[in-house]
Amino acid sequence: MTGNIKVRGPKQDRSLANAGNTVKKIHDRQLAAPAVSSTLQDLVKNEIASKKHTATEGLLWLVRYCSPRFIHHLSTHSRL
């Protein structure tokens, strides 16, 4: 974990690990199809057309992770 935030408990650790895995899925898709993934919108359109939704679903979860409610949850269960 980077920075000064120390997360307590396995649930928070899993959530942060999942967020990292989600970013990796999006990045892997961009590397696999760079010509059609120059923007996130292009990535989603191309991935949906290919009937594979791994990075698109990951992007949805990433947005959820970045929601104020999730951030509040982490900040109230973390030590700075």
Q: Which domain holds residue 21?
A: 9-75
Residue 1 in domain: no
Residue 2 in domain: no
- DSSP-derived letter for residue 71 is H
Q: What are the structure tokens assigned to 48, written together?
A: 């949906």
Give tens-digit pLDDT for 47-66. 989 888 899 888 888 887 77
Residue 26 in domain: yes
Within the chain, residue ranges assigned H as helices are: 10-32, 40-49, 54-65, 68-76
Its pTM stands at 0.61
Give tens-digit pLDDT for 3-34. 444 545 555 566 667 777 888 888 999 999 99
Number of domains in the chain: 1
